[in-house]
Amino acid sequence: MTHKAKKRFGQNFLHDQGVISRIVHSIRPTAEDHLIEIGPGQGAITRELLKATGRLEAIELDRDLLRPLAQMCAELGSLQIYNADALKFDFCQLQTEERPAQLRLVGNLPYNISTPILFHLLEQSRCIKDMHFMLQKEVVERMAAGPGSKIYGRLSVMLQALCKVEPLFDIGPGAFTPAPKVDSAFVRLIPFSSPPLKIEDQALFSQIVTQAFGQRRKTLRNSLRELISDEIFAAAEIDPALRAERLSLAEFVKLSNLAWKTRQST
C-alpha cells in the first residue's frame, strides 16, 4: 500500500505478525461478539478480527484509508466503517435492537489523544462489555498505578473506579511502521456491571479527584478547600494534611460520598 503515515492522526501501523496474533489471542473474538475497532488504519488487526467474527464495525478518521481498507477486507466478512472522530462518536448508538450485545472495543489508539478517548469511553461504559487497547506504555502504567507512587493520578482513580484494569504485555517500537519514539503496552479494561465501591454522585467524585490531582503538591485541605470541609475530612477519618497521591480509591469515594451526603442535608 502506498499510504504515507500521517503524524497528525497518530498513525503507527502494526506490522509484526507475532504481536498481532498475541493481541487477537488476548481478545478471543467469537462470532457472537459485538466488536468495534477504533482506528483500523491499514487493517492489521481488523483483518484478523473479521476472520474470527465475520462481522465488524470500525471508526476511522482518515478518509484516505477508507477505500483501501474496505477493499482489503471485502473477502473476509462484513465490515462497516464509520468515517468519524472517535472522540466525538456516540458508541452506545451501536447497541441496537438488532444487535443488543454490549460492545467489545478494540484499538491501537492514536497516542496523542489516548487520555481524552479513555474519558470519552468511560462516560459510555454502560454499553461496553470490555476494551482492549494498545497505548503508550507509560499511560498504561498510570492507568494501573496505586497510591503512593508518582504516576498515580486522576487517570488511575477515575478508571479504577469504573473498570478492572489489566495490563497484558509490552511491545517495543519495532513492531510498528513508522516506529514510535516510546514503548507501547496492551491493556484490557472491563467496566464493572456493579462497581465494588458505590459512588453517589459521579460528577462530584470527578470534580474532587480532578481538583485534588490538579494541584498534587498541595495538601488535600488546600486543594479541596471549596469542596471538602474539615468536618468531612474528620468524618471520613482522612488526614487533610496529606497529598492526593496518598489517598486510595476507596478513600476518594468515601470523601466524595460524605460531601454528597452533607450537601443533601443542608
Residues at the site binding ligand SAH, with contacts judged by CB under 6 A: 9-14, 38-42, 44-45, 59-62, 65, 85-87, 108, 110, 113
Distance CA 166, CA 242 (A): 28
Which positions ≥6 away from 50 have C-beta within 8 Å?
A: 56, 73, 76, 77, 79
Which positions ≥6 away from 103 have C-beta within 8 Å?
A: 34, 35, 36, 91, 94, 95, 127, 128, 129
Q: Which residue, 168 or 197, has its beta carbon nearer to ligand SAH? A: 168
Q: Which residue, 23 or 212, has its beta carbon nearer to ligand SAH? A: 23
What torsion do the CA atoms of 12, 88, 153, 192 make, to the nearest 10 degrees? -100
Q: Which residue, 26 or 202, has its beta carbon nearer to ligand SAH? A: 26
Cβ(127)–Cβ(105) below 8 Å: no
Distance CA 51, CA 104 (A): 16
Give the nearest distance from C-beta 134 to ligand SAH in angstroms.
7
Residue 74 burial by Cβ neighbours in a 10 Å radius (0-12, 13-18, 19+): exposed
Q: Which residue, 63 or 217, has its beta carbon nearer to ligand SAH? A: 63
> By Cβ distance, which residue is nearest to ligand SAH?
39
Helix (H) or strand (E) holding 35, with range, is strand 34-38
Give the nearest distance from C-beta 193 to ligand SAH in angstroms.
27
Phi, psi (degrees; rounded to nearest 5) at 70:
-60, -40
Give the nearest distance from C-beta 158 to ligand SAH in angstroms.
20
Q: Which residue, 13 or 260, has its beta carbon nearer to ligand SAH? A: 13
Give the nearest distance from C-beta 21 to ligand SAH in angstroms.
13
Give the nearest distance from C-beta 154 to ligand SAH in angstroms.
21
Q: Which residue, 45 or 52, has its beta carbon nearer to ligand SAH? A: 45
